[in-house]
Structure 1
């Protein structure tokens, strides 16, 4: 039994060594000219669930001399000793130096584990550092408020029950096997993601289908019906040449980027009534294990649900689909939604600009790099006619931010494609002081109940209803036959609850 295992202090089994302060003026970007230079390991290269993520983070190579004792060996374990968020989620996160032919250097603010006894298995030590108890110990003993720091002595003071060596090896082997399987699945997902991103760039950035048609060729990789959606010529715009009839828009004009709340101001109602707080650490981990707790009675827009697109705009910039269950949206995270373009488009569009956003954040003078809303406005791309493209996307993402569960009861809602390409839906916000006015002018009817109004408006071959326009006046909205989209009934119900 684990209660029979001896209680030991980590410092009796290992020691933690500091890194070296490599000088930033000698950092070189990772390219062909610097490929043979050593890599300076940085906190940003760590995965929040343990391990490194060199493939998706900025790599800094070093072009100067340094003490040789800071050269790392394959298999060395490094620990994060500084966390840029007050929750300290990544304090103590470990990663093992890969054996991939690169030379890695031990940077400051990272601790290097040196095991001093055969009583502790190296892989077991790695997994020990990923336990919530270890992280809690470091957070509780850390210095700083907004930026937390730990130290070798605090790491070494952690106490735990040490199993026999054989059991350590068996536990670590099982976890390593699971980790390997998870890593393989993530690599598969990354491959599919890269395919989708490449397709997005081809269609909406490089305009390859339009260039092919302009040259008299059939666009590659698509059927005739899809190819027919693209024009065969270009026109000038603020971005240069764009497909004829397409419009240039900014990210924040096609989607809403809702910043989260300072959730320490919204404590949970009780031990049993709460929402786990989704911070950057939870976004990167993909779950809310060990997360802080907040009120379960937040406004619905600040509740994160499976399928939501989240964008961390501070610290570690990431754009991800959330699949970790219901949670509360913390500050430094945007929840991205749109009523004008489908989810797959604003997800891939935001990811397209992620490298430039990361570059902006990397050059911020503050310790915690970030972007500002103006950068969303400055990020522009060309959009096709919503009526042609949006209802039937040809990339592997859902066509509406509302479509979450294909088994869920859905309702069909009519929409109109405006001149600027945006979509106006018959949603609950179409209600005025009298109710919902639907039907053609000569036979318009008011309904106080949304569901009755929806059934009535859908009974017309050409759905027609009234809603406020940009000037605040009531205006007629006439939809073309067939311009409808399915939404989960629960999605509409949440809108009604917010009214």
Structure 2
């Protein structure tokens, strides 16, 4: 094994911070250059671009293969695979210097960011400056050793991605089962009974959105859910922000098992996302941008079916069309419009059969999640050893 030397990140890479483009000049129309915002990086990469119609400096243009690091919300290190686009603020372009392998640098940055995140709950992302990154110490082996390490980590990462894709296919399986049993709910060619939303849901609750800390809540703290707790279509309790100590929690907004959560306000692609909460979360509170409701009569509609119906692509798009808002603001769906949505009601026995089938899918999903976590643990162990000269 080649001997590594301890060096600062700034010795092996150059860092370029994104520009603070004026949001009031952003356009939804594909004219000019796309802007890479936090929402377009990593797990949120499906979010639609905003566009910059004015002039720009060439140094802010990002191309396929460029290495990016986000410094807002959470650390993400990605190799850009999208179109040529402009680098926005709080995102950094990282360029390897001579004798630095790009893939090795990608993993080195991931490991360095994980170290910062583990410094403690008060080591906030928003406090990390470029100077801190440049001065961060890492073990730097010779170029050939870098390539060897990157090759091993690439193989482990490929296994991790394979598990992730398997989970993605399971998620689409639910939609396939729904379509097989009920058809397209918007066209409703089977002719199921239709009732108004308000006939099934006696009450729609709104939440509370105080100013929170820029980190998730610890187990003994109260937290306010973020929109990202819902937007994936599967409830993610970890997507929250800690409530400051000076704020008194409003326990009536606590999220409970059986709640159906609905994003009333978001980007046009992410508004009207719906999830069913499968456990009590007594210290997690509903924000103002998410509606909560429960079915009034489970003998008329099954909650699992209801959430699946609202999430089905054509049904969701029809609900998204109800959103309003002024130019430049995020689309918003009012309670009044949601209450009038037509809901397709197959016989309750068919709904419960769908629920039973989805329970079987969920069992497989649980196994896949467990396997993914094992793969992620293996990857983290390899990465940990790689940057301590132990791989």
In the alignment, the residues of structure 1 paired with residue 181 and residue 347 of structure 2 have an alpha-carbon distance, to the nearest angstrom, of: 13
1:112 Cα offset (Å): 1.4
Give yes or no for the alignment of 1:302 onto 2:254: yes
1:169 to 145, 150, 158: 150
Are 2:224 and 1:247 equivalent residues in the alignment?
no
Deviation at 1:188, TM superposition (A): 1.3
Residue 69 of structure 1: aligned partner: 59
Unaligned regions of 5+ residues in structure 1, if any? 83-89, 143-147, 211-229, 231-242, 266-270, 406-499
Equivalent of residue 94 in structure 2, options 103, 113, 116? 113
Task: Write the distance in 2 (CA, Å) between the matches of 1:112 and 1:16.
Answer: 6
Equivalent positions of 1:445-460 (< 5 A) are: none
Partner of 2:207: 259
> Which residue of the other structure, out of 279, 294, 303, is the alignment partner of 1:343?
303
Aligned to 2:225: 279
Note the alpha carbon deviations across 1:221-280, whole angstroms, 9 max, x for none. Answer: xxxxxxxxx4xxxxxxxxxxxx6xx43334993665463787989xxxxx9x74785733
Partner of 1:180: 161
User: What CA distance in whole angstroms lies between the structure 2 residues aligned with 1:336 and 1:64?
Assistant: 44
> Counterpart in 2 of 1:153?
131
Report the 3-state secondary structure (helix = DSSP H, G, I; strand = E; otherwise coil) of the residue aligned with 2:351.
Answer: coil
Shift of 1:124: 0.6
Q: CA RMSD in A?
A: 5.1
Asked if 2 retains the 8 angstrom alpha-carbon contact of 1:16 and 1:111, the reply is yes
Distance between the aligned counterparts of 1:155 and 1:252, measured in 2?
A: 53
Residue in 2 that maps onto 1:40 = 35
- Contact preservation (8 Å) 2:302, 2:352: no
Q: Residues 19, 293 of structure 1: CA spacing in aligned structure 2 closer, same or farther, 3 A cutoff?
A: closer
2:284 alignment partner in structure 1: 329
Matched position secondary structure for 1:39: strand
CA contact (8 A) 1:277 1:291 kept: yes
Could you tell me whether the CA contact under 8 Å between 2:178 and 2:354 is conserved in 1?
no
Name the SS of the counterpart of 2:307 in structure 1: helix
Alignment counterpart, residue 319 of structure 1, candidates 258, 271, 274: 274
Separation (CA, whole Å) in 2 of partners of 1:161 and 1:139: 22
TM-score, normalised relative to structure 2:
0.61
**What is the alpha-carbon distance in structure 1 between the residues aligned to residue 10 and residue 131 of structure 2?**
8
Residues 94-152 of structure 1: per-residue CA shift (max 9 Å, x gap): 332116xx33332334221222353561331453366263486897366xxxxx57543
Please state if 1:391 is matched with 2:390: no
- Deviation digits for residues 432-485 of structure 1 (CA, Å, limit 9, x no counterpart): xxxxxxxxxxxxxxxxxxxxxxxxxxxxxxxxxxxxxxxxxxxxxxxxxxxxxx
Cα distance, 1:156 vs. partner? 3.3
Question: Which ranges of structure 2 fall in alignment gaps of 5 or more residues?
Answer: 364-391
CA distance in 1, matches of 2:202, 2:79: 41
Distance 2:325 2:149 in 1: 40
Q: Residue 76 of structure 1: CA displacement? A: 1.5
Q: Counterparts in 2 of 1:78-477, with a 5 A limit?
A: 78-82=68-72, 90-98=73-81, 102-116=83-97, 118-119=99-100, 121-125=104-108, 127-128=110-111, 131=114, 133-134=116-117, 140=123, 148=126, 151-157=129-135, 159=136, 161-162=138-139, 164=141, 165-166=145-146, 168-169=149-150, 172-192=153-173, 194-195=175-176, 203-210=184-191, 230=192, 246-250=194-198, 253=201, 256-257=204-205, 259=207, 274=220, 277=223, 279-280=225-226, 302-303=254-255, 309-313=260-264, 317=271, 318-321=273-276, 328-332=283-287, 333-340=290-297, 341-351=301-311, 352-353=315-316, 360=323, 369=330, 371=332, 375-379=334-338, 380-384=340-344, 389-393=347-351, 396-397=354-355
Considering Cα pairs closer than 8 Å and 6+ residues apart, tell me whether 1 or 2 has the greater RCO. Answer: 2
TM-score (norm 1): 0.50
Q: Which has the larger radius of gyration?
A: 1
| 1:10–1:156 CA contact under 8 A, matched in 2 | yes
1:63 Cα offset (Å):
4.8
- The answer to whether the Cα contact below 8 Å between 1:138 and 1:150 also exists between their aligned partners in 2 is no
> What is the deviation of 1:183?
3.8
